[in-house]
Amino acid sequence: MSQHFDTKQRGSANDRVTFLDDEAGSLTILALFFFICMVIIGGISIDIMMFENNRTRLQNLSDRAALAAADLDQTVPAAVIVGSYFEKEGLADYLKDVQVTQSVNQRSVRVDTEKTQKTMFLNFWNHTGVDTLTPRSLSVATELRTDMEISLVLDVSNSMNWASSAPGSSSKLADLKSAATRFVDKIYNTEESERITMNLVPYATHVNAGPAIMDELGVTAKHPYSNCLAFADADFNETLIRGGDAYEHTMHFDQWYTEEKPQLYVCPSEADQIVRPFLHDPVEIKQHINSLTANGNTSIEIGMKWGAAFLDPSARNLTQRLINDGDVDSAYDERPYGWDRSNTEKFIVVLTDGVNTVQQEINSAYATGPSGVWRWTPNPAVPVSFYSWSSPEIGDEDGDRIANERYWNRRVTLPRSVTGIAPITIPQGWSNLPLGQNPGAINAALTAALPQSQPPVQLDYSELWNEMSVRHFATLYVRGQRGSSWSMNRFYNDVWRDVLGPTKDARLLDLCNQTRTKGATVFTIGFEVTDHSASVMSQCASTPNYFIRVVGDDLEDAFDAIAASITKLRLTQ
């Protein structure tokens, strides 16, 4: 009995050990555990997927709505447009807020959305605490229309008439016209070309401002012949052009030739040389470019002065005057915009083919008032004039036995076309009356031959320099009177002052610095220039990379590169 009991007890112990060691069926328990975890994770994924789907849908919808509402051409209120988008998608209750910020050429629309959704698995058995998820979206759309102002400052000095190194080039001016008109086409090849204005500034020795601008500036006129301004060093420390008598009216004279009649004036008066600010029609701009002619010396700093001035907001009064005259479209009455105005980009493109060369300005003593020169036109029907200079004789220099006569006359011959009879010669020398009032046999002969002759007229200095070149007067009258080169050189020192290349370079760099500081981007082109000129123009540009030195047929590539840079800057800034 006890033995049987012992056996049974041992069997029970073995059974327990066997049971504990037996691994059969444990995989089922583990699988059940993993299955529950997978169900939970899968459920959480569903919650997250539903959340992300709603958020993405909201984001895409709010993006589209914001873009549509930000359209500057849109007349419907932005909030109404955004609301209609959400209503059509059945998500109107998701729309939280619409904010609109608008200025003249910019509209920004901000759309906020938010909606709470209940979770199914994240709050598993109410133990996680994540009862809801809230998909949100934020969209900000801005339409920005950039206004652009460009000053195209082009060298039309005499050297532009020379052929370039490009094969088949007729002249550098022709090369310039081709490249510049192509530049205009590229700049205006945009859907918003109406937001671009261009200032065309041709320059040589001076810049022809034209009568309307001179009148609007209120400059005291010294003569009626041309419209240029003379600047001093300090004027290149600011970009604006001041009104009133801040500057001198440049005298109308020939600084180069010795012929009696001036061959080339320092200030051009031709219409093709007048500055053309605030233009917007590319066809008109190209017409003006193609009509350019070249002559004179080089004054890059004066061209730059006017180019910068037409970007300075102080020139707005000029805009209104030109609108009134029919030269500028009234749509641009607020140009030039302020330097710090948002959404406005200002550019200057300056081209030269040389270096700054000497410029002469008539000194005030020889600018206004009686000149001491008398003009005699013996036959009004024939435009031939003769001159006497009030320069007293010292003793009897001409040997006519009359001492200390008052007027110097150089030898002249009146041709048959003037006298109607045989030519009459008036000898060189002094007389006590201006030519045309000479006593004696010559006067009697003239009176008989020219019964309609007008009396001599004293010229003021502006009239004199309009009719006679300075060098002719110096050579034929000052030196011709006594054969004194010393007197002629002293006269040159008295009559005008020189503005030399180094001074002009310094002025240019001062102005370039001011223009860049104001916020304009400056591009410069050196067309077959010297190393010195290349250095100056590189310093003028906004960066050295904005200076392009070209030869021959590379000029079009230079303008193309600048047009591409301007377009890129307009899109990114």
Listed residues 117, 144, 171: the one ending a domain: 144
Instruction: Return the percentage of the chain with pLDDT > 70, whole number.
Output: 83
Query: Which candidate, 203, 156, 227, places its Cα nearest to that of 303?
Result: 203
Residues 418 and 297 in one domain: no
Residues 402 and 538 in one domain: no
In a domain, 169, yes or no: yes
Tokens 């010292």 locate to 394
Domain count, the chain: 3
In a domain, 534, yes or no: yes
Residues 380 and 469 in one domain: yes
Residues 345 and 281 in one domain: yes
- What pLDDT, in 10s, does the model give residues 54-91? 778 888 888 898 888 888 778 899 899 999 998 998 88
Listed residues 451, 473, 496: the one ending a domain: 496
Here the CATH number for the domain that contains residue 166 is 3.40.50.410
At 75 the pLDDT is: 85
In a domain, 262, yes or no: no
Rounded to an integer, what distance in angstroms lies between the CA atom of residue 409 and that of residue 555? 53
- What pLDDT, in 10s, does the model give residues 492-521? 999 999 999 999 999 999 999 999 999 999
Cβ-based neighbours of 138, under 8 Å, separated by 6 or more: 62, 110, 111, 112, 113
Residues 379 and 478 in one domain: yes
Cβ-based neighbours of 177, under 8 Å, separated by 6 or more: 289, 290, 292
Residues 371 and 517 in one domain: no
Q: Are 327 and 346 in contact (CB under 8 A)?
A: no
Residues 351 and 404 in one domain: no
In a domain, 37, yes or no: no
Residues 167 and 108 in one domain: no
Q: Which residue range forms the structural domain that includes residue 163?
A: 147-208+270-358+500-572
At 561 the pLDDT is: 94
Residues 408 and 520 in one domain: no
Q: Are 492 and 477 in contact (CB under 8 A)?
A: no
Rounded to an integer, what distance in angstroms lies between the CA atom of residue 225 and that of residue 375? 18
The C-alpha angle with vertex 515 and arms to 511 and 517, in degrees rounded to 5, equals 115
In a domain, 69, yes or no: yes
In a domain, 426, yes or no: yes
Listed residues 436, 466, 496: the one ending a domain: 496
In a domain, 242, yes or no: no
Residues 70 and 186 in one domain: no
Residues 462 and 557 in one domain: no
Q: Are 267 and 465 in contact (CB under 8 A)?
A: no
In a domain, 130, yes or no: yes
pLDDT over 70 at 44, yes or no: no
- How many CA atoms are closer than 13 Å to the CA of 431, on its beta-carbon side? 20
Residues 197 and 305 in one domain: yes
Rounded to an integer, what distance in angstroms lies between the CA atom of residue 421 and that of residue 415? 8
Identify the band that residue 422 occupies on the pLDDT scale cut at 50, 70 and 90.
confident
